[in-house]
Amino acid sequence: MIELTSVSKPVSPFETLAATAPARLTAGHPGTATSEVSRSLRHLAVKGKSGPILPPFETVIGRDERVRILDTDLAPWRMICALRMRGPNGAGAIGTGWFIGPRTVLTAGHCVFSNYFFDGWASEIEVIPGRNGPGAGPDAMPYGSVASERLSSLDRWVDGEDPDFDIGCIHLTEPLGDKVGWFAVGALPAGRLESYLVNISGYPADRGAGAEQYHARNRIVRVSERRIFYEADTYGGQSGAPVWIHETEHSPPLAVGVHAYGVGGTPAQLGITANSAPRIIPEVLDRLAGWVEQDGGWPDE
């Protein structure tokens, strides 16, 4: 059993909640904006465990297999956000986040706290759900944008930047997730995750300069105690993107990790070329539930 605590940005202190909630699946919500079914979801998202392993590409090696998502105003793409981070020294960076509750956006830990990028905590992060190109009009920002200085991460990341716990949180004041929806999140055993077909979608710097959403898919090739390794294409700016599965053809998306690393973050002793994500393990899921509770909780709780 790992004891994890939440660490919040000092300018916005939160009460640390005891990690007593049992491991479980959180319920997702498709949002109220529209019930139209995304054609991209039907034709691009991979589901279940069947099918051959696709060609092993990473941070992009060889032919780029990523596909741009154009209907970002529909679920689940609208639950995924382009992030614009700003550090205390004015330096900017881009990343990806995704809703796990009405006011709670999950991302990589290094998007909220990084000694390399920000010399500590980011000063402010702009969250843009379903961004679909440059500019600030309704086509590019179908759900507008909101900025927040209220940030949290795990103690294992803030204290030592442990890559197994590279997970962070952005707390919003308005329940934008009610409109765009949020992902279900699951802490699944390693044996259950192995060989699943996995989806990743986010906002890379090399295509669209962080203003266009790109989706990639492939199999999970290795699951360690705290990480998931996969051969789906990613690039800088997609840090913080959801790593999700569909357990069956008709199952809703279930997020199981937070994308954070390319091939450089994969331990050499594994002998694989892969991107990776910190896993949502039970202790992490408890922290996520605590963050959502800080922000007012899920409806009907």
Query: Which residue did the predictor score with more confidence, 208 or 55?
Result: 208
Residue 22 has pLDDT above 80, yes or no: no
For the chain, give the percent of residues with pLDDT over 90: 76
CA 39 to chain centre: 22
Confidence (pLDDT) at 59: 52
| pLDDT for the residue numbered 190 | 93
Residue 2 binned pLDDT confidence (cut-offs 50, 70, 90): confident
pTM over 0.85: yes
Q: Are the C-beta atoms of residues 284 and 167 closer than 8 Å to each other?
A: yes
Q: How far is CA 161 from CA 115, 120, 211, in A?
A: 9, 11, 28
Residue 185 has pLDDT above 90, yes or no: yes
239 part of the active site: yes
CA nearest to 127, candidates 152, 91, 100, 94: 94
Q: Is the pLDDT of residue 267 over 80?
A: yes
| Token pair listed for 74 | 């529909």
90: Cβ contacts below 8 Å, ≥ 6 apart:
none
The answer, yes or no, to whether residue 112 has pLDDT greater than 60, is yes
Query: 31-45, 47-61, 244-258: lowest mean pLDDT where?
Result: 47-61
Catalytic residue among 114, 201, 239, 276: 239
What's the distance, Cα to Cα, between the start and end of the chain in Å?
Answer: 26
Domain 41-294 has CATH 2.40.10.120: yes
Q: What is the largest CA-CA distance in the chain?
A: 49
Percent of the chain with pLDDT over 70: 90
Q: Is pLDDT above 50 for 206?
A: yes
Query: Which is more confidently placed, 268 or 25?
Result: 268
Q: What is the pLDDT of residue 192?
A: 92
pLDDT: which is higher, 219 or 300: 219
For the chain, which residues make up each domain, given as ranges? 41-294
Asked whether the predicted pLDDT for residue 53 surpasses 50, the reply is: no
- φ and ψ at residue 192, rounded to 5 degrees: -75, -30
Burial 135-155 (b: 16+ CB within 10 A, else e): eeeeebbbbeebebebbbbbb
DSSP string, the chain: -----EEE-TTS--PPPPS-SPP-BPPPB--SS--PPPHHHHHH---SS-SPPPP---TT-SS---EE-S-TTSTTGGGEEEEEEE-TTS-EEEEEEEEEETTEEEE-GGGTEETTTTSEE-SEEEEEET--SSSSSTTT-TT--EEE--EEEEHHHHHH--GGG--EEEE-SS-HHHHH-B-EEB---HHHHTT-EEEEEE--STTGGGSS-EEEEEEEEEE-SSEEEE-----TT-TT-EEEE-SSTTPPPEEEEE--B-GGGS-GGG----EEEEB--HHHHHHHHHHHHHTT-STT-
pLDDT at residue 11, rounded to an integer: 55
To the query of whether residue 110 is one of the catalytic residues in this protein, the response is yes
From the list 206, 203, 215, 220, the residue with the least C-alpha distance to 65 is: 215
- pLDDT value at residue 60: 55
Average pLDDT over residues 6-22: 52
Model confidence pLDDT, tens digit, residues 128-166:
999 999 998 999 999 999 999 999 999 999 999 999 999
pLDDT at 52 over 90: no
pLDDT of residue 56: 32
Q: Choose the catalytic residue: 6, 8, 40, 110.
A: 110
User: Which carries the bigger pLDDT value, residue 292 or residue 232?
Assistant: 292
pLDDT band at 242 (very low <50, low <70, confident <90, very high): very high
- Kindly report the average pLDDT of the chain as a whole number: 89
